[in-house]
Amino acid sequence: MSRKVIALLGSTRGKKTASESIVDYISGNGNAEGFDLVKYRAHEIFNKQDKLDDFMNDVIDSDTLLISSAVYVHSVPYPLTVVLENMSAIESRKNLEGKKLLSIFHSGYPEDIQRKASFEICENFAKVTNMEWLGGIGFGG
Amino acid sequence: MNTVILNSIQSDDKLYNILKSFLFEELSKAGFKNEFIDLFSKNIEYCNGCGYCGEKKVGVCVKKDDMTEIYYELANSKIYIFISPITFGGFNSELKKAIDRISPLGVSGYTIYKGELHHPMRYDNPKMFFTIGILDNDYPEQEETFKLVSERLEKAFFSPKTASLVLNKDMNVDSIQLKIKESLEKLGVIS
């Protein structure tokens, strides 16, 4: 039985984004690696309760959450922040305990420090929700 | 000289009036005209990264909402003060929504500032940048992330004088006022 990975995309620019291209690349290799990947775009779900519920149910049914996003003004973009705030609601946390979290952040700036805050925010989110933080990969320049 | 305070804590929070009244009192005594903006009461759309402000009409945001008045205040204020509950170490979503819209205040090109690549600011502000975060006692490790997030914006704003303050809801009024005074002294606003 293959593992299920939920990808949460933070970029707000629509569908042709670096965040999504990275996830599509990973997804293309998914079958060989033994996992299925389901994508959600934060800007399409953050202000719609039914879509947030669908997303949360998929996360509950999965092993791993992968956050892929551009850095917006030195940290996590607004719609992605809203989704994380919703996920961390007290009543949701018990459903997330033990699930794996990793993140990919990219920006036009070459220095790693420009993406550091975004990774720390995800790590802190993992601590709040008792998820297992696996770390992340940064791309810049 | 002007101060713009972007606030994202709710008005029924017990810290709201303490922070607002004390900041007004101290900044007014120092001769500043203060604009306190409650972001929850504003109609602000989120940035969808359309590129209009950087490519099509540089410095102008295509979205016409309450950020228009905030851009004016930011362009004309020597001090920026950002107040927010700390969420996973960062600003909460309400303040982050406004921060994500700040790109039109930068110019399209890049420069090296303190060894890092940054967009220069369009206006010669802020001269001082002050962040105040309200920390949940259950997550003390988030204080370090908040300082990092604040430091990142200090560099993005090219702000020569900066202060970052973390408060929690158990602090008494005297302690809060003392810490704010210390931060304002660090900034050189009061002596």
CB half-sphere exposure, A28, CA atoms < 13 A = 6
Question: Does pLDDT of B106 surpass 70?
Answer: yes
User: For residue range B59-69, what is the model confidence (pLDDT) as tens digits?
Assistant: 999 999 999 99
What was the pLDDT predicted at A1? Answer: 59
Q: What residue in A sits closest to B154 (Cα-Cα)?
A: A74
CB contact under 8 A, A121 and B90: yes
What was the pLDDT predicted at A92? Answer: 86
CB contact under 8 A, B46 and A88: no
Mean residue pLDDT across chain A = 93
Task: List all residues 6 or more positions away from A130 whose beta carbon is below 8 Å from its beta carbon.
Answer: A93, A96, A97, A98
User: For residue range B121-156, what is the model confidence (pLDDT) as tens digits?
Assistant: 999 999 999 999 999 888 999 999 999 999 999 999
Distance separating alpha carbons of residues A116 and A74, to the nearest angstrom: 9
**Would the CA dihedral through B70, B74, B76, B82 be positive or negative?**
positive
CB contact under 8 A, B152 and A84: no
Task: Tell me if A92 sits within 8 A of A125, measured CB to CB.
Answer: no
User: For residue range A3-40, what is the model confidence (pLDDT) as tens digits?
Assistant: 899 999 999 987 789 999 999 998 887 666 788 899 99
Q: Which residues of B touch A127 (CB under 8 A)?
A: 139, 141
What ipTM describes this predicted complex? 0.95
Tell me whether residue B113 is exposed, middle or buried, using C-beta atoms within 10 angstroms of its C-beta: 0 to 12, 13 to 18, 19 or more: middle
Helix or strand (DSSP H, E) at A93: helix A90-96
CB contact under 8 A, B88 and A82: no
Of B96, B44, B33, the closest CA to residue B70 belongs to: B44
Distance separating alpha carbons of residues B170 and B174, to the nearest angstrom: 12
What was the pLDDT predicted at A16? Answer: 83
Q: Which residues of B touch A43 (CB under 8 A)?
A: 46, 48
